[in-house]
Structure formats: C-alpha cells, structure tokens
Copies of this chain bind each other. A is one copy, B any other.
Amino acid sequence: MRGWKAGTISARSCWRSQVDRLTLHEDPRSGNCYKIKLTAALLGLPLEVRQYDIMKGETRTPEFLAQVNSNGRIPVLQIGDSFLPESNAACWFLAEGSDLIPGDRFQRADMLRWMFFEQYNHEPNVATLRFWLHFIGEPNLSDQQRAQLIAKRIAGCDALTLMDRHLADRDWFVGTGASLADIALYAYTHVAEEGGFGLGDYPAIGRWLERVSTLPGYVPMS
C-alpha cells in the first residue's frame, strides 16, 4: 500500500472530501492499472494499492471473483465498499470535475471516442503483443496465440499510425490540454517497444509522449 504525491491539474470542484477511501486492485505490470495511478497522481488524489500477480492466476480465485470482479480482471477501483472495474471507467470516476475532462460537450464525447478507440483498436493489439512477447515469451505462446501475431502486429501499427497522424498538428488528443484520452492512450503506447513496435516510426507520437511525461504530478509506470 502506498499513496501518490499531489499533482497540480486543477480540479473544477474540490470533491476529495466527498469520496470514500480509494483502493486500486492492480498488477503493476499492467498499463490499464497504470492509467488509474497516473490519473490519481495528476489530480493529487491519494490511492492505496493492493497488488495481484495475474501470471499466477490471483485474479481468478473464488474470493476475487466473488468480492472484487466477476470478470476476473484487474484493474478494479474500490471506492469505499463499491468496486468499479474497467480502467477507463475508473479514470472517469476520478477525474470528474477536473480539467482532465473537457468542459465542452463535443470535446467530452470526443475524449470518450479516443478512450473507446484505445480499448477496441489499440489495447487488444499493442498491449496484448507486449504481454505475449515481453511477459509470456514467444517460445511459450500457444498455437492459437502464435497464429494471431501478424494480424495483431498490423492492427497495432494501424492504431499507432492513426494516432501519429492525428497528433501531427496538435499537442493533445482533444482540445488544447491533457485529458483522459491522452492518459488512456499513453499507458500502453509508451511501452509499445516491449511489444516489438518501433516508436521511431511515429515522430508525432514521440513528441506527445514527451509532453505527457512532463505534466506536473506525472509518475512513471513502475
């Protein structure tokens, strides 16, 4: 268990006193967990952490499935006695009322657009290849996994290319400042080389990664 130092993203309303104790159920190797820690750090929110080893099946135990998440996955953000799975939903919960969610209606929806893109087009390819190649190891992959390597490589490159083009003439994914869209996409993009993606091919992404890493309150992945 540890807390995170205060960040300096301004909150539009001071709601810290209104929420219960926050506990993140996580595996520190997971970019999805890191999103939530980075959001909390940028907002200066204290977050306790309970760690699980997904490689040892610690999120598939009967206790975890009954009490934390019936989907057997981390991260889960615990707010008092309530449990909130899905990384991007947890980031939304933490950031409501802060400048990490745009005040403009279209921009707010456009931020969610990039967060859904992240979960549909980016994470299943960029994060999955990182997990397979960096943590499981190519010799240990199943035939089923091995058969998907090329398709996931192509789809991951497509997602990175789309991001690079979007960032070519702007600093942030939505509007003029960092939002949850940047945090969601940063998490697995900045470690994409662990999945065999060459980030040198995406110069606008490279500049944006640097921009995110210098936000006040930023914390590294581990």
Chain A residues close to B by CB (< 8 Å): 70-71, 79, 82, 84-90, 92-93, 96, 105-106, 108-110, 112-113, 115-117, 119-121, 123-124, 144, 147-148, 151, 162, 165-166
Contacts and interface: CB of A to CB of B under 8 A. Distances in A.
A89 B70 contact: no
Contacts of A123: 120
Contacts of A106: 79, 82, 84, 93
Contacts of A119: 116, 119-120
A48 to B, nearest CB: 18
Oligomeric state, in copies: 2
Nearest to A151: B144
B116 A88 contact: yes
Contact of A89 (B82, B109, B162, B166): B109
Most buried by B among A71, A117, A120: A120
Contacts of A165: 70
B96 A113 contact: no
Most buried by B among A87, A112, A113, A166: A113
Contacts of A117: 71, 85-86
A89 B116 CA distance: 7
